Structure 1
Amino acid sequence: MKKALITGASRGLGLALAKALADDGWSLLLTARGEEDLFSAAFDLNAEAIAGDVTDPAHVARLAEAAPELDLLVNNASDLGPVPLPPLAGLPLAALRRLLETNVIAPLALVQATLPALRKRKGAVLGISSDAAVEAYEGWGGYGATKAALDQLSHVLAAEERDLAVWWVDPGEMNTRMLADAVGPGEAASAPSPDAVASALTRLVTIRPQSGRFTREALAIATGARE
């Protein structure tokens, strides 16, 4: 049975992807900071769960120890930063450091910790990116900079670990709590559900195309969701 480790798995896209992979027969190791929601999800999906903060090196070590063989690492956990989203002129540097710890350093730490397990199974790494990584949206400078950094780390990882598949995916706007925090619940409610993206990501993992960056549109084409 194939095994996946998913961060930020208690809600939003992480939870939707966990459900989609479970339906596809995957064994799951789930992590998030919110214990109650995480353990509820794990119970429903018959999955293993380890609650904690991905910026904590001890937590990263526990996750790697719990997955000595791994087919898929999903770096989904993200921090949005202070809201309302401030312009760069008003972005607290301490907040930017926290964003970098969560959105860049923690994913790399998890890659480093799980590489032996991933190499053993010639597995895959999936990083959840954003169009804020490549577009200039007012207020999104801090978050976008971290996602741009994650994109580049993924790109280099793909060049260095050629036996692995490495994908960094911009899923577009989704009706999640993070989007609601950023733009308000009314606008977020009009965005697509994470379930459709999760279904496409599951097909991506199954088809296993070459490493690269995928937008929602490219993901749909690559996985056959659009003729």
Structure 2
Amino acid sequence: MPDQPVSPSQPTPPTPRRIVVTGASSGIGAATVELLRAEGHDVVAVARREDRLEEVAERTGATYVVADITSDDDVARLVSEVTAAGPVDAVVNNAGGALGADPVGAADLDLWRRMYELNVIGTFRVVNAFLPALREAEGDIVVITSTAAHEPYEGGGGYVAAKFAERVATRTLRLELVGEPVRVVEIAPGMVHTEEFSLTRFGGDSAKAAAVYDGVPGPLLAGDVAEAVRWSLAQPPHVNVDTLILRPRAQAAYTKTHRVPSGAQG
């Protein structure tokens, strides 16, 4: 019998690819754009805020398209503009977010609806629109969910429900595309300290936003998640990273986080 390989295949040096990143105006999205551009990829940054996209583009050399993923017209225009300029090798679906932290029994259902529209319908509006181009390019779909997609926690009902749905739809897509030359990847971060996530969740209340990270020695940073995206995309074509969960060392679960008493850090 011929010798069988005894060690895993190694990722090949990156070949420049054309990659679309949504939610790219700040946080994980902006960090992902920066890291992929540093590796030589042609990146299209997508978000609603043109001023922030301009800053990202100027800093990284990415191109950008202003679009709201909750709008059918915007996504149709996005896909038309991007595909007219060349093939698309990967789409990183990062746009999303949490709104509020009320218990289920006191839920603001309008916020739940907005979270579902953004995290679930918006994500798959983008995925479905780019799928023909990704099939043609033998490309990759990356969906950045959350550890909230894997475990519930008090005060997170609406966000957990949306992220669970996003995760399950991603997994279903993976099943439905098996045998086709498209990879489907879920990346689920735990606590990530970015400038806007918690601030948005708590309606701009900076004290509540800061309290999320109080005493946590080393929450994840946006660049840590960006590296997970880069690594997943860099794997050989036969390797599909189905689900990658990453958390800070201090966080074992959403409800189990080590915190250092005030004044004890450093």
Q: Under a length normalisation based on structure 2, what TM-score does the superposition of the two structures give? A: 0.76
Runs of 4+, deviation exceeding 6 Å: none
> 1:128 deviation in Å?
0.8
Residue 216 (1) aligns with residue 246 (2): yes
Name the CA distance, whole Å, in 2 between partners of 1:47 and 1:20. Answer: 11
The 5 Å alignment of 1:51-90 reads 51-68=66-83, 69-82=87-100, 85-90=101-106
1:95 alignment counterpart: 111
Q: 2:42 aligns with which of 24, 27, 51?
A: 27
> 1:105 deviation in Å?
0.4
> 1:180 deviation in Å?
4.8
- CA deviations over 1:88-125 (Å, ceiling 9, x no partner): 11112221111111000011111111011100111111
Q: 1:201 aligns with which of 229, 236, 260?
A: 229
Query: Looking at CA atoms only, which structure, 1 or 2, has the larger radius of gyration?
Result: 2
2:6 alignment counterpart: none
Name the CA distance, whole Å, in 2 between partners of 1:52 and 1:210. Answer: 29
Gapped regions of structure 2 (runs ≥ 5): 1-15, 202-207, 248-266
The answer on whether the counterparts of 2:90 and 2:139 sit within 8 Å (CA) in structure 1 is yes
2:134 alignment counterpart: 118
Partner SS state of residue 50, structure 1: strand
RMSD over aligned Cα atoms: 1.7
Q: Read off the aligned partner of 1:93 and give its amino acid letter.
A: L
Q: Read off the aligned partner of 2:82 and give its amino acid letter.
A: A
- CA deviations over 1:150-186 (Å, ceiling 9, x no partner): 1111111111123211111112211112135556225
Name the CA distance, whole Å, in 1 between partners of 2:80 and 2:213. Answer: 37
Name the CA distance, whole Å, in 1 between partners of 2:115 and 2:199. Answer: 18
Name the CA distance, whole Å, in 2 between partners of 1:143 and 1:61. Answer: 26
Indicate the larger mover: 105-114 or 183-192.
183-192
Name the CA distance, whole Å, in 2 between partners of 1:97 and 1:200. Answer: 29
Name the CA distance, whole Å, in 2 between partners of 1:138 and 1:124. Answer: 34
The 5 Å alignment of 1:106-145 reads 106-145=122-161
Name the CA distance, whole Å, in 2 between partners of 1:184 and 1:112. Answer: 34
Alignment coverage as a number of residue pairs: 215
Name the CA distance, whole Å, in 2 between partners of 1:80 and 1:128. Answer: 13
Q: Read off the aligned partner of 1:192 and give its amino acid letter.
A: L
Distance 1:112 1:181, change over 3 A: closer
- CA deviations over 1:162-221 (Å, ceiling 9, x no partner): 32111111122111121355562254374221112212320111015325111117xxxx
The answer on whether the counterparts of 2:33 and 2:62 sit within 8 Å (CA) in structure 1 is no
The 5 Å alignment of 1:177-188 reads 177-182=196-201, 184-188=209-213
Q: 1:50 aligns with which of 65, 75, 83?
A: 65
The answer on whether the counterparts of 1:180 and 1:187 sit within 8 Å (CA) in structure 2 is no
- CA deviations over 1:130-153 (Å, ceiling 9, x no partner): 111221211111011111111111
Q: Read off the aligned partner of 1:185 and give its amino acid letter.
A: A
The answer on whether the counterparts of 2:20 and 2:45 sit within 8 Å (CA) in structure 1 is yes
The answer on whether the counterparts of 2:187 and 2:228 sit within 8 Å (CA) in structure 1 is no
The answer on whether the counterparts of 2:18 and 2:88 sit within 8 Å (CA) in structure 1 is yes
